[in-house]
Amino acid sequence: MKYRDVIIAEPNGFCSGVRNALAMIEKKLETITGNIYILKGLIHNNGIAAELKKCGCIFVDDVEEIPPGAETVFGAHGVSLKVKNLAAEKMLRVTDATCPLVEQLQQQAHAVTPEKELVLFGHPGHPELEGVIGHAGTKKIFVIRTPQEVEELPELDAPVLLVQTTLSHVEAEKVKKALKTRFPNAETPGNICRASLLRQQAVERLAPECDLFVVAGSSHSSNANRLRETAERCGVRSVLLDSPGEVTPELLAGVRTIGLSAAASTPEYQIEALRKALEETP
Q: Does 243 bind ligand SF4 (CB under 6 A)?
A: no
- Return the residue of 106, 108, 188, 223 that touches ligand SF4, per CB under 6 A: 223
User: SS3 for 153-190, per residue?
Assistant: CCCCCCEEEEECCCCCHHHHHHHHHHHHHHCCCCECCC
Closest CA to 248 of 221, 280, 216, 220: 280
Q: Is 64 a catalytic residue?
A: no
Edge-first strand order for the sheet with 212-216 is 5-8, 257-262, 212-216, 237-241
Mark 38-77 with x for binding to ligand SF4 (rule: CB under 6 A) and - for no binding.
--------------------------------------x-
Interface with ligand SF4 (CB under 6 A), residue from 102, 132, 175, 214: 102
Q: Which of 71, 117, 128, 130 is catalytic?
A: 128
At 146 the three-state DSSP class reads coil
**Closest by alpha carbon to 214, among 8, 2, 1?**
8
Q: How many residues bind ligand SF4 (CB under 6 A)?
A: 15
Q: How far is the CB of 264 from ligand SF4 (least distance, A)?
A: 4
Of these, 48, 94, 101, 241, which contacts ligand SF4 (CB under 6 A)? 101
Q: Is the dihedral of CA 54, 56, 57, 58 positive or negative?
A: positive
Q: Is position 87 an interface residue for ligand SF4 (rule: CB under 6 A)?
A: no
The yes or no reply on residue 99 touching ligand SF4 (CB under 6 A) is yes
Judging by DSSP bridges, how do beta strands 36-39 and 57-60 pair with one another? parallel
Q: Closest approach of Cβ 223 to ligand SF4, in Å?
A: 6
Helix (H, G, I), strand (E, B) or coil at 13: coil
Name the nearest CA neighbour of 131 among 4, 217, 40: 40
- Among 6, 193, 202, 252, which residue sits at the site for ligand SF4 (rule: CB under 6 A)? 193
Which range touches ligand SF4 (CB under 6 A), out of 4-12, 30-38, 143-151, 191-199?
A: 191-199
Helices (H) and strands (E) in the chain, counts: 10, 11
Report if residue 108 touches ligand SF4, rule: CB under 6 A: no
User: What residue ranges bind ligand SF4 (CB under 6 A)?
Assistant: 15-18, 76, 99, 101-102, 165-166, 193, 195-196, 223, 264
Active site (catalytic) residues: 128
